[in-house]
Structure 1
Amino acid sequence: MKYADQDFEPFTLAYPTAPAIPLVCDSPHSGTTYPADFQFAVPISELRMGEDLFVEELWHAVPSVGGTLLAATFPRTYIDPNREVDDLDPNILAEPWPEPLHPGPKSALGHGLIWHMARDRQPVYDRKLWVLEVENRIGTYYQPYHDALREAIEAAYEHFGTVWHLNLHSMPSNSYEVLELDTDRTLADFVLGDHDGKTCDPTLVGIVEDFLRGRGYTVARNDPFKGVALIGRTGRPSEGRHSLQIEVNRALYMDEQQFEKTGNFANLQRDLTALSAEVAGFIRSLL
């Protein structure tokens, strides 16, 4: 991670290096560059727990199979692109928000559009935020990310008449605890989220699940992650718009305390490269 002393590009965008297919992948929580105006009041290590560290590297092969790969550069704890813009807790503001707000379950956990609780339930800020500073985060980082994703998805849809979107994430190995869920279930290696079958053709979900199980991984569907704003916005299978969230357990590839790759990173990256090719083959078969 690094600190920025000025505004920076809010995302990286890698275009297909092979014949293009209507595959758009995005990692909204990869960002590790912390803006100068963040002014948080917790140890940086607590905020770094929110990073989907190395996810864009795990899926680096997407452009080589014909897909587009978008990744955020700003941290989700600063502003979270996988939330609706009105998923904001008014209690963290120093003044009224100019539009109606609809804070949801993530805001209740402190992880809405603007995170106000760290992973250990410490308040992120020792002050309330001004409307203008939140609006600046939206205009400088959140909205450009959404614009880039929308443009990539619409360009694919316009050209091919269909689009397949993979929303890429990593999850803490103690995700049930983080989500405050009382369960004796063991977190899977991968969680596939499609809003309980609403956002993606089940054929693709099955292909991804079968591939991962064939490589020896455990896979769950929509437990405990069903997907949030980005697949909800994109996934309308009846219109040929398919969106699937893929969460990978961080314990498979990184030291979650030291924020470093482990020796298994290369093996997992190799398997996800092969999965990217599998997904691309399925999409090409439909064109």
Structure 2
Amino acid sequence: MVVSHPGTTGLVLDSPHSGTVYPDDFRSCCERATLRRAEDTHVEKLYAFAPALGAAWTEALFPRSYLDANRDLTEVDSTLLDAPWPHPVATDPAVLSKVRLGKGLVWKYTDEGLPIYDRLLSVAEVESRIERCWTPYHAAVGAAIDAAHARHGRSVHLNCHSMPAVAASHATDFPGLVHADFVIGDRDGTAADPALSHQLCAFLSGRGYSVSYNHPYKGVELVRRHGRPAEGRHSIQVEINRRLYMDETSLALVQPGFDRLQADLKAMVRMLLAPAPAD
């Protein structure tokens, strides 16, 4: 359920939400078309050039609505379970805001607030998803970053996402927000050197895109877990507005938007691969 390509450079990319392989045990009361709106559709195609440039690449094949690899294991909604969860549960209000929206480790609601299940899940069911999906995904990303850092003494990790043109009612804490073309997030400078994040923002702005920094997306579990800029480990979340490259209703790619965007992303990756001064 995870695909990983090793790299030869200090750059690592991953896409935790573009998976389209729906497991047989995902017994949802939602239609597949509704569930598919949760995907970061086509992100893996946008960055298909990355391995050829020497960047490590990891992508989830399982869908985000089945298990969200960008959530911590403590972000479990106990109201979705038929028995008490026997593992630690988050208590931080900032973390729990997503759980309350139905967007924890296992989603309860779609972005539009529709229930995903007409039943309660068993503890064993959720534990199995963690074992088959979350654990190998995080292991692959962590191994890629460790290898990149070992090779070069510095690693840059881009956590690759897409976002709807307008935030839905249950998607974020900012329903109805019209998104910029890109949102660059480094958890307020704690997951990456802000100078590197600003470099990305400036590059994208120079290509004619509107760019927001740390709003409304700061980066979540994958950048939090792997971003340690003091150690030369920089982790940045990159959100791309879907209207730039696809029809959000049919999910079809649109041209020339896709080709232009992919060319600009390739140029961005090449910029990151250029020699950089030591941290």
Shorter-normalised TM range = over 0.9
* Number of equivalences: 272
Q: CA deviation at 1:160?
A: 2.2
Give the match for residue 230 of structure 2.
Answer: 238
Instruction: Encode CA deviations 1:150-177: one digit per residue, 9 max, x unaligned.
Output: 1111112223222111000000111264
Report the Cα distance in structure 1 between the residues aligned to 2:124 and 2:75, rounded to whole angstroms.
17
Report the Cα distance in structure 2 between the residues aligned to 1:126 and 1:211, rounded to whole angstroms.
46
2:151 aligns to what SS in structure 1? helix
Pick aligned residue for 2:128 from 122, 126, 136: 136
Q: Contact 1:165/1:242 (CA < 8 Å) preserved in 2?
A: yes
Q: Contact 2:16/2:60 (CA < 8 Å) preserved in 1?
A: yes
Q: CA deviation at 1:182?
A: 5.8
Alignment of 1:256-271 (within 5 A): 256-263=248-255, 264-271=257-264
1:169 aligns to what SS in structure 2? strand
Gaps of at least 5 residues in structure 2 are none
Question: Normalized against structure 2, the TM-score is what?
Answer: 0.93
Distance change in 2, residues 1:134/1:186 (3 Å) = closer
Report the Cα distance in structure 2 between the residues aligned to 1:63 and 1:21, rounded to whole angstroms.
10
Give the match for residue 98 of structure 2.
Answer: 106
| 1:40 is the counterpart of 2:40 | no
Report the Cα distance in structure 1 between the residues aligned to 2:172 and 2:24, rounded to whole angstroms.
29
| 1:60 is the counterpart of 2:57 | no
Report the Cα distance in structure 2 between the residues aligned to 1:165 and 1:180, rounded to whole angstroms.
26
Report the Cα distance in structure 2 between the residues aligned to 1:271 and 1:160, rounded to whole angstroms.
25
Report the Cα distance in structure 2 between the residues aligned to 1:101 and 1:15, rounded to whole angstroms.
33
Instruction: Encode CA deviations 1:85-113: one digit per residue, 9 max, x unaligned.
Output: 11011110000111221162211111110
Q: Contact 1:61/1:276 (CA < 8 Å) preserved in 2?
A: no
Q: Contact 2:155/2:234 (CA < 8 Å) preserved in 1?
A: yes
Q: Contact 1:176/1:224 (CA < 8 Å) preserved in 2?
A: no
Q: Which amino acid in 2 is paired with 1:100?
A: P
Q: Contact 2:98/2:172 (CA < 8 Å) preserved in 1?
A: no
Question: Normalized against structure 1, the TM-score is what?
Answer: 0.91
Give the match for residue 13 of structure 1.
Answer: 4
Gaps of at least 5 residues in structure 1 are 1-9
Report the Cα distance in structure 1 between the residues aligned to 2:211 and 2:224, rounded to whole angstroms.
21
Q: CA deviation at 1:286?
A: 3.2
Report the Cα distance in structure 1 between the residues aligned to 2:270 and 2:28, rounded to whole angstroms.
41
